[in-house]
Structure 1
Amino acid sequence: MSNMELSGIDRTVIGADRAPSSQRADSALAPTATKGKLGTRGLQLLSWFAPIALVVIWEWLAQAGWLLPQVLPAPSKVIRTAFKLATTGTLLNDLGVSLLRAAAGFVIGTAIGGGLGILVGFSRIAEALIDRSVQMIRAIPFLAALPLVIVWLGVGETQKIFLVALGVTFPIYINTVLGIRQVDPKLLELGRVQGLSSLQLIRRIILPGALPSILTGVRSALATAWLALVVAETIGAQSGIGFLAMDAREFLRTDVIVLTIVIYALIGVAADGIARFLERRLLAWHPNYGAAR
């Protein structure tokens, strides 16, 4: 088989038969036209307009006395509090502890969810054995499972990492299965006609075709990881951003509470930015990713 034929299978053919050519052209031209008017940097700046406007209005309302400091402190006060906690080392220590917990749970959950998703995606027998149990566990809320997890694992680091891993597993699992099952059968047939082996079909057609869905699962899992960590750090934690918020609640420090919320939001934006970067790099061949984003 020639290199030209393999290149056509790897990059061009995936997703080529999913829509008529006119629809693909329209969907490709729309973001390109918008991007041409504003540019990539202009679009990035535009995405920050609403958050910055909200902060400005918030500061104005607080300075005008419409917002009581005990209810919602001004952004300037929150910034001063952040600087004070950072200089004492408290904020950086708690932030580092939370990041380590989230990273450990994310890696474990991704490995479990991805492994199970690949098994179920490729095997109907594995689906019959695994999927129903996974869906039943997924339906259990964090707060309902928390007492049993504490009985099993206590309130130490293991409990917190376990809850994060549990939350991450399900979006990775669901999107991995969905991505594998949504690969166009025509592409598989084309690969067989070209003489690709089963391993080559998986590596060159199935996994690249499933990658957009898998990366969507990663983005969802990043948000779920922080949600699970907040729940975990409210019970028996001695450090971490969640502990900082709970400790501030005891002393009615609304400025610290708002600071922790802002930190969660900024971490979420940074994590989503990393996921988008991975999409642009790994899906450069896809018409809806790469240069269009």
Structure 2
Amino acid sequence: MSTLLTPERAAGERPAALRGERLRAVLGRRWFVIVGGLVIPVIALTVWQLVSALELFPVSQLPSPAMVWNSLLDMAERGWLAQDVAISAQRVIIGFLIGAALGLLLGAIVGLSRLGDILLAPTLGAIRAVPSLAWIPLLMIWLKIGEDSKITLVAIGAFFPVYTTVASALRHVDRQLVEAARAFGHTGLKLFTTVQLPAIIPSVVSGLRLALAQAWLFLVAAELIASSMGLGFRLIDSQNNGRVDRIFLLIIILAVLGKATDALIGVFERQVQKRLG
């Protein structure tokens, strides 16, 4: 049974539709996105300052924002801040690029080839279950305490999110789309680059974002145990010296760096979508 759209009802729905369009327009504006993203951090900082001012927790457990800021200035003056950030970021970038490239390659092999799936998927699935800390003793024996062991661990962390998402996404590409492309003579690498890869771009970007988060996680694990420089080393050094203010600072720096690198993946996604669109 259909309902008729009376003039009165249509007149009532138009303002609601206009309000919805205006709301979507506001939500899509860059200034609103930036301000909205700052709401929770500002609230958290305000609560933190209030709790510190009321001395609800001892300073040894919860330093004030001012103490963390002074710690930032102190580390910057000593040259530790720039050095640790640069070293850790370099390790993450190199390890991430290596791990993501290998993840894309092996994910494509497993996702496109039944034989590759049979041969590789069980072994890689078992290796994926190995905790990050379990790799450190072996890497230290094989590669010693140096950059190679840390970058290798970061690459391991970045590899599996990309591999898993790419392999899974390729298995679910529309078969009719693939068959249509083959009918036009697209096979092998051409089929992959022109049809299958564009179809899984959202999954690839999601995998890259997860891989970047994993890269930072594995980096800190490596630097906490076997390093003399970097943000992870500075964390454990601050713990040993009872510098809770530095620990808070380093956690905030890691959060900011993680968000900044994630934003770069977002820029990459928009550029790819423009080219494909």
AA aligned opposite 2:48: W
C-alpha distance in 1, partners of 2:68/2:140? 33
- Two-structure CA RMSD over aligned residues (Å): 1.9
Deviations 1:53-98 (A, max 9, x none): 1011101211221232110111221111111211221111111111
Which whole-Å CA distance do the structure 1 matches of 2:179 and 2:31 have between them?
A: 42
Match of 2:70 in 1: 80
**Residue among 78, 90, 102 paired with 2:92:** 102
Are positions 1:36 and 2:25 aligned together?
yes
Q: Which runs of 5+ in 1 are unaligned?
A: 1-30
**Where does residue 113 of structure 1 map in the other structure?**
103
Match of 1:235 in 2: 225
Aligned residues, how many? 256
Q: Which position in structure 2 is the counterpart of 1:220?
A: 210
| Structure label with greater radius of gyration | 2
Quote the residue 1:47 is aligned against: 37
Aligned-pair identity (%) = 35
Q: Which amino acid aligns with 1:241?
A: L
1:179 CA drift (Å)? 2.2
3-state SS of 1:48 partner = helix
Normalising by structure 2, we get a TM-score of: 0.87
Q: Residues 78 and 212 from structure 1, CA distance in 2 versus in 1: closer, same or farther, beyond 3 angstroms?
A: same
Give the whole-Å Cα distance in 2 for the aligned partners of 1:34 and 1:207.
35
Instruction: Tell me the alpha carbon deviations over residues 181-201 of structure 1, each in whole angstroms, 9 at most, x when there is no partner.
Output: 2211121233234x2421443
Q: Counterpart in 2 of 1:259?
A: 249
State which of 58, 62, 65 in structure 1 corresponds to 2:52: 62
Structure-1 separation of matches of 2:63 and 2:207: 36
Q: Distance in 1 between matches of 2:264 and 2:270?
A: 10
Instruction: Give the match for residue 93 of structure 1.
Output: 83
Determine which of 246, 252, 267 is the counterpart of 1:277: 267
Please say if residues 155 and 235 of structure 1, whose CA atoms lie closer than 8 Å, have aligned partners that are also in contact.
no
Q: Which runs of 5+ in 2 are unaligned?
A: 1-19
Mark the CA change 1:33 to 1:98 in structure 2 (over 3 Å): closer, same or farther. Answer: same
Contact 1:179–1:211 under 8 Å retained in 2: no
Q: Does 1:167 align with 2:162?
A: no
Provide the residue aligned with 2:113 in structure 1. 123
State the match for 1:203 in structure 2: 193
TM-score, normalised via structure 1 length:
0.82
Does residue 143 of structure 2 align to residue 158 of structure 1?
no
1:140 aligns with 2:140: no
| Structure 2 residue matching 1:140: 3-state secondary structure | coil
